[in-house]
């Protein structure tokens, strides 16, 4: 039984349609990239989060944070959601806001890709661009400054410090992985951004199997090509980040991650974003040093949002 039990969030307005389809994303075992690279007794699986509405893992946390704010009476129809994002959480907020009757103001680094901005505008979101040199930290600072002005009918959800973020993964992502591996998972591998995915999923999986190894991934430099990832040593550390939770941290080089992003598409048929390539690079690093085991990596989003980036797919 889990050592931590979280009540299910309740809302007076039931979910339906698209929002009810968030979660239960597919798991795929890698076969081509692992041949001759990892021992035969080691399995490497990936959880394909771009199958969520909104196209990324962030749909889970965004929905949980909105429902939590509704349950606590902070968010009501006609209100404005405010937050900072590198793009994926923003898109998730945008579709949820449209479906639940809210406006959205999103602080977004100006160098976020064109596809993300186009999707956000299509949903009716207001984009407040921040300095690309400051990354997500600059977007966070801008959102906090806006909130300090105390705008009426605006709710700052603060994905980097909101416990509903990691709790979403404790309730959904972790149980799905446990179920879909029949409890055989031995290693969980995921990147750190807000850290919500890694934190919530790891807490659930370790509650089921205390011997499970959790491996967090970070870029190997503050200057990197992995959108949404944080180099914790030099970044504003999210409040929900627990530095003691990972059994191991692997630093991911951007060029190798981008190469694996391309190979996932051409060799496995998985069109994922650069963070997915980074996650698989980390998973293979873990897997090649095992004699046996089941390694699960999380692929945060799909590759369609990166097709205009020549450094990713050569387009």
Q: Domains in the chain and their CATH numbers?
A: 21-52+170-313 (3.40.50.1100), 58-156 (3.40.50.1100)
Strands 42-48 and 27-29: what pairing? Answer: antiparallel
What pLDDT score was predicted for residue 108? 95
Q: How many whole angstroms separate alpha carbon 137 and alpha carbon 108?
A: 10
Tens-binned pLDDT, residue by residue, of the chain (315 aa): 233 445 455 545 667 789 999 999 999 999 999 999 999 999 999 999 999 999 999 999 999 999 999 999 999 999 999 999 988 999 999 999 999 999 999 999 998 888 889 999 999 999 999 998 888 889 999 999 999 998 889 999 999 999 999 999 999 999 999 999 999 999 999 999 999 999 999 999 999 999 999 999 988 877 776 777 777 777 788 999 999 999 999 998 888 989 999 999 999 999 999 999 999 999 999 999 999 999 999 999 999 888 876 677 765
Residue 247 CB coordination number (10 Å): 15
For the annotated catalytic residues, the residue numbers are 58, 275
HSE of 185 in the Cβ direction (CA atoms, 13 Å)? 36
What pLDDT score was predicted for residue 7? 47
What pLDDT score was predicted for residue 12? 52
What pLDDT score was predicted for residue 6? 54
What pLDDT score was predicted for residue 5? 46
Residue 303 class from Cβ within 10 Å (0-12 exposed, 13-18 middle, 19+ buried)?
buried
């Amino acid at each position: 039984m889990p050592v931590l039990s979280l009540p299910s969030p309740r809302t007076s307005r039931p979910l339906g349609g698209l929002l009810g389809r968030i979660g239960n994303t597919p798991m795929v075992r890698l076969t081509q990239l692992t041949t001759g690279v990892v021992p035969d007794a080691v399995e490497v699986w990936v959880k394909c989060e771009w199958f969520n509405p909104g196209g990324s893992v962030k749909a889970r946390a965004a929905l949980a944070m909105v429902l939590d704010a509704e349950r606590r009476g902070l968010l009501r129809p006609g209100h404005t959601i405010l937050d900072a994002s590198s793009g994926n959480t923003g898109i998730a907020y945008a579709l949820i806001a449209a479906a639940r009757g809210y406006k959205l103001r999103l602080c977004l680094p100006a160098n976020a890709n064109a596809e993300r901005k186009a999707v956000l505008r299509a949903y009716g979101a207001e984009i407040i661009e921040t300095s690309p040199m400051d990354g997500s930290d600059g977007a966070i600072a801008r959102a906090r400054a806006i909130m300090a002005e105390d705008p009426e009918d605006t709710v700052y959800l603060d994905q980097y410090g909101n416990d509903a973020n990691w709790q979403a993964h404790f309730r959904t992502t972790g149980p799905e992985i446990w179920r879909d591996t029949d409890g055989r998972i031995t290693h969980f591998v995921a990147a750190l951004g807000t850290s919500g995915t890694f934190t919530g999923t790891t807490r659930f999986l370790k509650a089921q199997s205390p011997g499970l190894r959790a491996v967090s991934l970070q870029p190997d430099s503050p200057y990197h090509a992995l959108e949404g990832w944080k180099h914790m040593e030099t970044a504003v550390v999210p409040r929900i980040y627990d530095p003691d939770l990972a059994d191991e941290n692997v630093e991911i080089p951007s060029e190798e991650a981008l190469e694996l992003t391309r190979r996932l598409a051409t060799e496995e048929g998985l069109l994922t974003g650069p963070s997915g390539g980074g996650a698989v690079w980390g998973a293979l690093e873990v897997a090649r040093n095992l004699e046996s085991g089941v390694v699960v990596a999380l692929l945060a989003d799909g590759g369609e949002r990166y097709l205009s980036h020549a450094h990713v797919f050569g387009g």
